[in-house]
Amino acid sequence: MKRAAFALVAALAATPAIAQDPSAGSGQAYPSKPIRLVAGFPPGGNVDVVGRIVAQKMSEGLAQQVLPENRTGAGSIIANEFVAKSAPDGYTLLVVSGAFVTQVATLKKLPYDPLRDFSFISTIVTYPLVFSVRADSRFRSLDEFIAHVKSSPGKINYPSPGMGTLYHLAGEMFVSMAGIDMQHVPFRGGSEPLTEVLSGRMELLIDALTNSYPQIQAGKFRPLAVSSSARAPSLPNVPTVADSVPGYEASSFLGLAGPAGMPAAVVERLNREVRRVLGLPDIGQRFAEWGGAPTASSPEEMQRRVSAEIEKWKKVVAERKLELL
């Protein structure tokens, strides 16, 4: 009898915990109602599109609707704050973007703590930046571009969607590590940087591969280099920035997070679902079409990545003596 009881206890201990709904009566499995998935950028951008794809697939696996919701403004700060201050019950989640880490390095104050006020669940996709010129540009390699800038210090500009964005900081790091003098011209987001280079008013575009890839495929842009440590599978013939500037690496990611204090079992259930979704063949193919790669992680790995990215960009801001906004 004692042996049977011991076996039962051991079996129960080995069984994965079932997430209980923290907002409903005990014993009810999570989720028991629809989940909001908040994105801080307008519909149509890569943050919104990836969020909607993942939401649809998660809805199927969780047997509850995961409803995308756009809360735009202040470069995603409004959405981040909204989620940080929501109930930690697993029913309000956030699509974390690259802006989440760069804002910490460039803004004097945020209405939330990026590490203490969130429960990290998993990264979703990782993608490099791509350094591109117009298809008919005189520059056929990044080495040629660097040599030209060195011969004309301070006369070449590069655009970005705004001060303190990932693209701005990636440019500042490039200028510093390449030992060149190139001026940054900020715009107010949107497609203006891309338009500036397409029009010929500026020479170099530093943008997410997910944004530039359609223009590259259409023959409007010539990619000179990707910012990742290895070549991008979607552009296998394009070298890395590090081939010209040793040690250079910059990439962005999207991830899933919720308010701090979410029950561990709920975080684990959501992490398991994200891993299932990212393992679907059609998801990998769709992400690859945009130059991204499915990148599931543990909650701890995502938190470490966020922390490391914050420190990396803080260092760039300090070295370049950029004024905090």
d(CA 216, CA 100): 27
Q: Which of 230, 49, 217 is CA-nearest to residue 132?
A: 217
Residue with tokens 């259409």: 218
Q: What was the pLDDT predicted at 13? A: 40
Do residues 101 and 309 make contact, with C-beta atoms less than 8 angstroms apart?
Answer: yes
Q: What was the pLDDT predicted at 27? A: 57
185, burial (CB in 10 Å: exposed 0-12, middle 13-18, buried 19+): middle
Q: What was the pLDDT predicted at 293? A: 87
d(CA 206, CA 130): 6
Whether pTM > 0.75 for this model: the answer is yes
Characterize the bridge pairing of strands 35-39 and 92-96: parallel
d(CA 180, CA 19): 54
Residues paired with 221 in a beta bridge: 134
Q: Which of 274, 297, 309, 252 is CA-nearest to residue 127?
A: 252
Q: What was the pLDDT predicted at 23? A: 60
Residue with tokens 């609707």: 65
pLDDT tens for 150-175 read 999 989 999 998 888 899 999 999 99
Q: What was the pLDDT predicted at 207? A: 92
Cα-Cα-Cα-Cα dihedral of 307, 317, 46, 43, to 10°?
110
Torsional class of 239: left (φ above 0), alpha (ψ -120 to 50), beta (otherwise)? beta
Residue with tokens 């495929």: 217
Q: Helix 192-199 and helix 209-217: axis angle, to 10°?
A: 40
Residue segments in the chain with a per-residue pLDDT below the cut of 50: 1-15
Q: What was the pLDDT predicted at 6? A: 40
Do residues 67 and 79 make contact, with C-beta atoms less than 8 angstroms apart?
Answer: no
